[in-house]
């Protein structure tokens, strides 16, 4: 555990420094950006070590893998925040509604309705973000920008959910200006929805390769995996 802990401490500090530099360049407080450690494909031991290094919010993409980790780390549940960030099929909504604190990847009203119906009464409202397909890629999940306002208002009216904001996964881009463009588009949509009366406070955007661009454009949550945990082995 000690080598892993040392490595994760180092990597987390590096990422936090990147966030701090980008926030300073944007004239923002670095504390306004939450680091979400994307732990998909990494074992529960890695999450436990990252927790020991001070990390509290973790993102998972695969329902069964995440449930196994949540159960293994049940002793830390009070100090862990679990975020579901992957594509969510309607037949998998119940365990997510029952075990997660956040869902970033709500990409259609039906998913939101099921999460609302299946959220246990004894838990606080489930924090959700509407996923928006800012790049317009056919292969990407997310609502079209033109449809986002209508769906956001419908989700905001559902019980046992709290619509916090927007999430996107833009296509990779080479330079900083190109990376900033889709994040700016999401922020502008976010501002329009706020002006339209929705109480939103969250922009979930930016990953290991483009977190600076995202922070410059107003990200409040950056989702970082590789830069914290290392390269992923998808063969497991």
pLDDT of residue 141: 87
| Cα-based torsion angle of the residue sequence 105, 82, 203, 199 in order, rounded to the nearest 10 degrees | 90
Kindly report the CATH class assigned to 2-229.
alpha beta
Q: How many whole angstroms separate alpha carbon 39 and alpha carbon 224?
A: 9
Which residue, chain included where needed, has tokens 């900033």? 180
pLDDT tens, 17-49? 999 999 999 999 999 999 999 999 999 999 999
pTM: 0.97
pLDDT at 236: 61
How far out from the chain centre does Cα 70 lie?
17
Distance from the Cα of residue 215 to its chain's centroid: 14
């Amino acid at each position: 555990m000690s080598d892993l802990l040392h490595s994760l401490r180092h990597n987390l500090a590096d990422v936090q420094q990147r966030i701090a530099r980008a926030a300073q360049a944007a004239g923002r407080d670095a504390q306004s950006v939450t680091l979400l450690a994307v732990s998909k494909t990494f074992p529960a031991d890695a999450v436990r070590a990252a927790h020991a290094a001070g990390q509290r919010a973790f993102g998972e993409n695969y329902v069964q893998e995440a449930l196994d980790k949540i159960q293994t780390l049940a002793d830390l549940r009070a100090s862990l925040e679990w975020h579901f960030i992957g594509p969510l099929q309607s037949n998998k909504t119940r365990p997510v509604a029952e075990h997660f604190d956040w869902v970033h990847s709500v990409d259609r009203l039906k998913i939101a309705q099921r999460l609302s119906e299946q959220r246990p009464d004894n838990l606080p409202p489930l924090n959700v973000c509407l996923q928006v397909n800012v790049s317009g890629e056919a292969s990407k999940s997310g609502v079209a920008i033109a449809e986002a306002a209508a769906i956001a208002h419908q989700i905001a009216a559902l019980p046992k959910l709290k619509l916090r904001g927007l999430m996107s996964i833009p296509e990779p881009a080479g330079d900083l200006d190109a990376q900033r463009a889709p994040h700016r588009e999401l922020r502008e949509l976010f501002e329009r929805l706020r002006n339209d009366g929705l109480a939103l406070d969250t922009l979930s955007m930016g990953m290991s390769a483009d977190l600076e661009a995202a922070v410059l454009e107003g990200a409040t949550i950056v989702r970082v995996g590789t830069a914290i945990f290392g390269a992923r082995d998808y063969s497991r």
